[in-house]
Amino acid sequence: MAWTCMVDLLLDFAVPAAALLAARRWGWARALGPATLCYLGGMVYANLPGTAPHLPTVEIVAWAAVALSVPLLLFSVDVIAWTRLARTAVLAFVLACVAVLVATLAVGMLLADRVPHAVDLAGMLTGVYIGGTPNMAALAGAFGAPPDVFVNTNASDLILSAFYLGFMLTLGPRVIGRFLPPSAPDEGAGAGDSWAADRPARFRHRLMGLGLSLACAAVGGVAFAVVPSGFQMVAAILLITTLAVVASLSRRIRTLPGTYTTGQYLLLVFCFAAGSMADISRLLAASPGFFGFTFAVIVLAVVLQFALMAAFRVDRDTAIVTSVATIMSPPFIAATADRLGNRQVLVTGIASGLMGYAVGNYLGIAVSWMLR
């Protein structure tokens, strides 16, 4: 076990460095982007014959990287400029929620007699595709669903969400950009080259930024430890994000060199760790009925989300980060914003994700009630 942990830790920090180097040297790697290389590399590592990442170690690395990278990335965001986009962000979030509600209700009614616990599944998937896994777990408990229902549905969601995120980090922006209005350019980062967009930084600059980020993460960690079960992640992310946004109002912090590139590296650590948790064998163990139900919901929800965004003329970057915020969760927003080369949508995405956590349980119960 100790040897496996050491290998996991080495790969978690070495693969991101290799991905950055590859993206600077080779066109194909630059086209995919470092985040995609790390995420796909993690999936390959997790599913190679004879390899078995130590999940407790990987999970610790993943969430520690998130807790430190989010503040570092947000420090350079101009929140005042973002407020001009707030109305569009709220509209996008509402449209994303409507799409998920229509998808779960439609699939729930269609498969109610074919899939066991279909009513519970519809409610649980509403929670997870508007909020996150904590919402799914809470709703499973509220419905009194058998343990295997949650386990199999969660396994199906993990695999399908991995493919969804992979699409969003590769071809998604180009495909979706054909149907949605372009976003305003981000003056702080060049599209596709956000790892090189920051000013040159000395070691002491990076150390200062990391220290500030660590302080934000420490407060989030305290919140995680003291709030009631089921609300820990919401409280931690909310506090970390709030402290980082407040810090970004200081011009001295916002212009501190190296914060964005340091955060981007830690983000790549998270991407590799998250990818290495996507074990395809879980899919083989899940019930085909649960997988089919989840597949139908996520495909219909995503298609409806972007159809509604196109109808209401929501710009591409806002639409994509809002979709990722609902279908996935706030920790994946940074990777998406980096792929888009638009750090200004970080706050939009995280705000949507946090709102999803807040309303996911209510809407999940509402869907279940309507289907009964």
| Intra-chain end-to-end CA distance of the chain, in Å | 47
Cβ within 8 Å of residue 143, ≥6 positions away: 119, 120, 123, 124, 368
Cβ within 8 Å of residue 217, ≥6 positions away: 64, 67, 68, 71, 240
Give domain limits for the chain.
2-371
Sequential DSSP letters for 245-277: HHHHTSHHHHT-TTHHHHHHHHHHHHHHHHHTT
47-61, 161-175, 227-241, 342-356, range with greatest mean pLDDT: 161-175
Average pLDDT over residues 61-88: 77
pLDDT value at position 110? 92
- pLDDT confidence band for 103 (50 / 70 / 90): very high
68-82, 115-129, 132-146, 357-371, range with greatest mean pLDDT: 115-129
pLDDT value at position 320? 95
Mean confidence (pLDDT) of the chain: 82
pLDDT exceeds cutoff 50 at 197: no
Lowest mean pLDDT among 60-74, 133-147, 168-182, 249-263: 133-147
- pLDDT confidence band for 191 (50 / 70 / 90): very low
pLDDT value at position 195? 37
pLDDT exceeds cutoff 70 at 286: no
Cβ within 8 Å of residue 103, ≥6 positions away: 129, 296, 297, 298, 300, 301, 304
Average pLDDT over residues 277-306: 82
How many Cβ atoms are within 10 Å of 20's Cβ, its own excluded? 20
pLDDT exceeds cutoff 60 at 309: yes
The CATH fold of domain 2-371: Na+/H+ antiporter like fold (1.20.1530)
- pLDDT confidence band for 310 (50 / 70 / 90): very high
28 or 234, greater pLDDT: 28
pLDDT value at position 14? 92
Q: Which residue has the tokens 């972007």?
A: 306
pLDDT exceeds cutoff 50 at 167: yes
Average pLDDT over residues 167-188: 82
Average pLDDT over residues 155-161: 82
- pLDDT confidence band for 194 (50 / 70 / 90): very low
Lowest mean pLDDT among 143-147, 202-206, 281-285, 356-360: 281-285
> Would you call 190 helix, strand, or coil by DSSP?
coil
pLDDT value at position 189? 40
pLDDT value at position 192? 37
How far apart CA 294 and CA 1 sit, in angstroms, is 34
How far apart CA 306 and CA 78 sit, in angstroms, is 27
pLDDT exceeds cutoff 80 at 212: yes
pLDDT exceeds cutoff 90 at 108: yes
pLDDT value at position 193? 36
Q: Could you tell me the pTM of the whole model?
A: 0.70
Backbone angles phi, psi at 87, to 5 degrees: -65, -45
- pLDDT confidence band for 287 (50 / 70 / 90): low
**Six token digits for residue 106:** 């439609």
- pLDDT confidence band for 336 (50 / 70 / 90): confident
347 or 164, greater pLDDT: 164
168-182, 192-206, 250-264, 350-364, range with greatest mean pLDDT: 168-182
